[in-house]
A and B are shown apart, each in its own frame.
Chain A
Amino acid sequence: MGLLKTFVLGGIHPPENKLSANSPVRILEIPPQVVVPMGQNLGAPSKPVVKRGDKVKTGQLIAQASGFISSDVHSPVSGTILKIDSVMDMSGYRRPAFIIKVEGDEWMENIDRSETLITDINLNPEEIIAKVKEAGIVGMGGATFPTHVKLMISPGKKADYLIINGVECEPYLTADHQLMLEKGPEIIVGTKILMKALNVKQAVIGIENNKPDAIELMSALAVREEGITVQPLQVKYPQGGEKQLIKAITNREVPSGKLPVEVGCVVQNVGTAFAVYEAVTKNKPLIERVVTVTGKALKNPSNLKVRIGTPIKNLVEMAGGMPDDTGKIIGGGPMMGKALATLDVPVVKGTSGILIMRDEASHRLAEGPCIRCSKCTQVCPMGLEPFLLSRLARIGNYSSAEQEKVMDCIECGSCQYTCPANIPLLDYLRLGKSKVGAMIRGRTKK
């Protein structure tokens, strides 16, 4: 192992609490009914191509991408479309979704369901990107940006690094870790496919040092491949952020408001690399994913492989049932996840974890006055001044907030975590971001 790298600016060390580490991925039974939302990606929601009452097979296309930044949706089960209705999503808003009644598990004929490892790829980059698009793959880390869009590098720009994100810096979550341990060879092939699609010669798999077994395994697999290396990284949150990871591995800095390709890097999650492997070699669309179900009061924190559309309550049951003193259920990790209003919401492509918090740990502490300790400024990985930005958002001075680069905030929550006065800094930063975003959109429209 070489010298451990990390990003320079800021960062925090929250307790890791990886309760479900080393618990092998279990396959969750298919529920009697699934709910598949149409808009599972960042960008435009997809358009349905099946009707109510239609029979669908597992892996069949049910909704098509409706714009450039949009992705296809496939049926995760076989059965009948019960109805197309608006269904509550994680935030409580109702959005259009398919409700599918499960009947057996009949897959599309062209999907290879065998476990054999296929290493030969005889496709050109365009064909690979087309297959990724057809499989409806989105960023599996949680941001759900359509992967095929990321692979199409705009003319005039060139990528020279592919970075595979196996950092999993969020506390509690272990889904990517387990995936690396169990599907290492597949991820390596997926990486090779992505390298070919992007036409890059070098790929780096970044893994934090708290996963030594994964580093060892991936390194052993990577030495056999040309151009792929594994880079162990210091443990620091938010290293899994795209810009932070690029800085840590390549020491390049993505300019404000620009995309990583500007500095010749493309970042993909390990889960995405695995999904790409399955899509390209086995024609399997993105219809299932690994989800960590965890929490201190939970009997059996686990990593579960579930079909998209499975209600979250089934996952919680599988992990030992809902503890009595539950105060909050979070979709995602504790730092960037979102509290759920109900357990009936389905797993979507971007669901990386379900965290159940005890009541005592799920309330905010009373807010105190800012004592100008500058801790938030020290931990901000983007070099912003959260105390100033939150103050500007609070008084409604959004034009100054824009000048102070509020849009660069990656919403990692480090500032709020570290604030000794318990000021809801991130809330105000988000408020500022949404207002400034609206201002910018208004300007470009004119």
Chain B
Amino acid sequence: MSNVVLISVIVLGALGLVSAIILFFIARKFKVYEDPKFDEVEAVLPAANCGGCGYPGCRAFAEASTKNAGKEKNLDGFLCPVGGNEVMQKVAGILGLEVEEKDPMIAVVRCNGSYAHSPDKVKFEGVTSCSFAHALYAGKGGCQYGCLGLGDCVEACEFDAIHMSLETGLPVVNDKCTACGACVIACPRDIIELRKKGPKDKRIFVSCVNKEKGAIAKKNCEVACIGCGKCEKVCEFDAITITSFLAYINFANCKLCRKCVDVCPTDAIWEVNFKPRKPKPEAVRPKKIPAKETVSASAKKQEAFAEIKSIVSSNTEKSEK
């Protein structure tokens, strides 16, 4: 009996030993040298694998940045938007390089065509996908540049940072935004833009991307940019340019003086996270559609529905039977 045990132990032990020796030599023969810095860099990255840096995942970013650091001795063109400066400093530290401080960015939704501002003219019953709706028709409110409100950006976000507001039907970005740019790519209408977060999160931007003439834009949406040029004239820093009836504020030049906000006749320019202005009460306008506006919103919506004659849904329907 003890013989059997002994034989098994010896045979298995010998087998194991031989295999171990073979494996040892094979492992040496096929060894792939990997820079240990890959692992170090990867360890400090956020591991979100969002692709915001332009590489397929954090590992690919770590490999590419390490290789580039070895060759070019700089980190130009490498930025992890999720980790921001903090992480980039760490990466630079590991690679023994200096890195420039970059301004933190945030995704900004440049459309204010809410239910109240751009009442529905047609009814859409198709699939809830912006890409599909964009190919099908101009949009419920009639604006062919505006937000379709079907949430492709929400689906694209890996960070739970963008949600549809039920009151306005527009996406709202929250503090979790890492500026990875996934929503920018997902939006078929290029409404979302990555802009500077600004000092103390203060920022000013044109909340409209409508390139139509003022009269047409205004007909579909009362807060559309009509390209009147008042903001361009009042701006002292050459930050505002108007191309095809649409103002754009260059955040690199903007000094956040808020003059453009005051002159905008359609309230298309938004100021975010500023303190309300004291002396001129009439100049203070509700900017971010506070909750009190929702009452009028639903009333206007119903009014608009009463006028609805045609209904856009998808193209194919079961015919009348």
Inter-chain contact A341/B312, CB cutoff 8 Å? yes
A328 touches B (CB below 8 Å)? yes
A93 to B212, CA, bound (A): 11
Q: Do A342 and B316 touch across chains, with their CB atoms under 8 A apart?
A: no
In-complex Cβ contact of B319 among A94, A334, A341, A426 (8 A): A334
> Looking at B135, B216, B311, B318, which has the most chain A CB atoms within 10 Å of its CB?
B318
The complex places the Cα of A91 from the Cα of B319 at a distance, in Å, of 20
- Is A383 interfacial (CB-CB < 8 Å)? no
Interface 0/1 of A327-356, CB less than 8 Å to B: 111100011111111110000000000000
Residues of A within 8 Å of B172, CB to CB, are: none
A171 to B131, CA, bound (A): 29
Q: Report the nearest A residue to B129, measured CB to CB.
A: A431
Q: Is residue B314 contacting chain A, with contact meaning CB distance below 8 A?
A: yes
Q: How far is the CA of A424 from the CA of B320 in the complex (A)?
A: 17
Q: Which residues on A sit within 8 Å (CB–CB) of B138?
A: 88, 91-94, 341
What bracket does the count of chain A residues touching chain B fall in?
35 or more
Interface pair A94/B216, CB less than 8 Å apart: yes
The 9 listed contacts between A and B (C-beta, < 8 Å) are: A93-B138, A94-B144, A327-B311, A334-B320, A339-B314, A362-B311, A362-B317, A430-B132, A431-B132
Q: Which residue of B lies closest to A424 (CB)?
A: B127
Q: How far is the CA of A327 from the CA of B310 in the complex (A)?
A: 6
CB of A232 within 8 A of chain B? no
Minimum CB–CB distance for A236 against chain B, Å: 15
Smallest beta-carbon distance A62→chain B, Å: 22
Does A413 sit within 8 A of B, measured CB to CB?
Answer: yes
Is residue A55 contacting chain B, with contact meaning CB distance below 8 A? no
Answer whether residue B313 sits at the interface, using C-beta atoms and an 8 A cutoff: yes
Known: A426-B314, A427-B132. 15 other contacts (CB 8 A): A14-B319, A328-B313, A334-B316, A336-B315, A339-B312, A340-B310, A341-B310, A343-B309, A357-B317, A358-B320, A361-B321, A363-B313, A413-B315, A416-B316, A431-B127
Stretch in B11-19, B118-126, B272-280 touching the partner: B118-126
Contacts of B136 in A (CB 8 A): 91, 338, 430
- C-alpha spacing A357/B309, complex, angstroms: 11
Is A22 on the interface with B (CB-CB < 8 A)?
A: no
Q: Does chain A have a CB within 8 A of B139?
A: yes
User: A339 CA to B317 CA in the complex, in Å?
Assistant: 10
Query: Interface of chain B, helix or strand or loop or mixed?
Result: loop
Q: A91-B138, A362-B313 are in contact. Are A427 and B131 (CB under 8 A)?
A: no
Judge whether B142 is part of the interface by a CB distance below 8 angstroms. Answer: yes
Which of A357, A364, A427 contacts B320, CB < 8 Å? A357
Within the complex, the shortest CB–CB distance from B68 to chain A, in Å, comes to 23
Task: Select one of B135, B212, B313, B321 contacting A339, CB under 8 A.
Answer: B313
Asked if B137 is an interface residue, CB under 8 A from chain A, the answer is yes
Interface residues on B, range: 20 to 34
Closest A-chain residue to B308, C-beta based? A327
Complex contacts, B309 vs chain A, CB 8 Å: 322, 326, 343
A428 with B127: CB separation less than 8 A: yes
Which residues from A are CB-within-8-Å of B139? 92
Ordered nearest first, which 10 A-B pairs have the shortest CB separation? A92-B138, A413-B316, A427-B127, A334-B319, A361-B320, A431-B132, A364-B125, A339-B312, A91-B137, A328-B311
With A15-B321, A341-B122: A94-B212 Cβ-Cβ less than 8 Å: yes
| Cβ–Cβ < 8 Å partners of B122 in chain A | 92, 339, 341
Bits for B35-77, please: 1 = Cβ < 8 Å to A, else 0. 0000000000000000000000000000000000000000000
Tell me if B317 and A424 are in contact (CB < 8 A).
Answer: no
Q: Which of B130-171 contact A (CB under 8 A)?
A: 131-132, 135-139, 142, 144
* Cross-chain contact of A15 among B125, B144, B311, B319 (Cβ < 8 A): B319
Q: State the Cβ distance, A337 to closest chain B Cβ, in Å.
A: 6
- The answer to whether residues A426 and B313 also contact, given A93-B144, A341-B138, A363-B125 and a CB cut-off of 8 A, is no
**Complex interface residues of chain B between 255 and 314 (CB less than 8 A to chain A):** 309-314
Q: Check if A339 sits within 8 Å of B132, measured CB to CB.
A: no
Q: Given A91-B138, A364-B125, A434-B132, are A335 and B316 also a contact pair (CB < 8 Å)?
A: yes
- For A297, the closest partner residue in chain B by CB is B320
Contact call B317/A334, Cβ cutoff below 8 A: yes
Compute how far the CA of A365 lies from the CA of B321 in the bound complex, rounded to whole angstroms.
14
In the complex, A17 has a CB within 8 A of chain B = yes
Q: Is A158's beta carbon under 8 Å from chain B?
A: no
* B142–A341 touching, CB < 8 Å: yes
Residue from the list B135, B144, B314, B321 in contact with A364, Cβ < 8 A: B314
Determine how close the nearest CB of chain A comes to the CB of B316; give it in whole angstroms: 3
Cα-based distance from A358 to B72 in the complex (angstroms) = 69
Bound-state CA distance A99–B216 (Å) is 16
Q: How far is the CA of A295 from the CA of B126 in the complex (A)?
A: 22
CA distance A430 to B46 in the complex (A): 36
Q: Is A86 located at the chain interface by the 8 A CB criterion? A: yes
Q: How far is the CB of B305 from chain A (nearest CB, A)?
A: 13
Assess whether B319 is in contact with A335, with CB atoms less than 8 Å apart: yes
- The chain B residue with its CB closest to the CB of A334 is B319
B320 x A17 contact (CB < 8 A): yes
Query: From B311, which residue of chain A is reached at the shortest CB distance?
Result: A328
**What's the least CB distance linking A314 to chain B, in Å?**
16
Q: Is the CB of A430 within 8 A of B320?
A: no
CA distance A196 to B125 in the complex (A): 48
Alpha-carbon gap, A340 to B316, bound state (A)? 13
CB-CB under 8 A from B131, the residues of chain A are 431, 434-435
1/0 per position for A398-421, CB-CB distance to B under 8 A?
000000000000000100110000
Does any Cβ of B come within 8 Å of A172's Cβ? yes
Which of B126, B129, B144, B320 contacts A92, CB < 8 Å? B144
CA distance in complex: A329, B308 (Å): 12
Distance from B220 Cβ to chain A, minimum over Cβ atoms (Å): 10
Also in contact, A328 and B317, with CB within 8 A (given A91-B138, A92-B144, A94-B144): yes
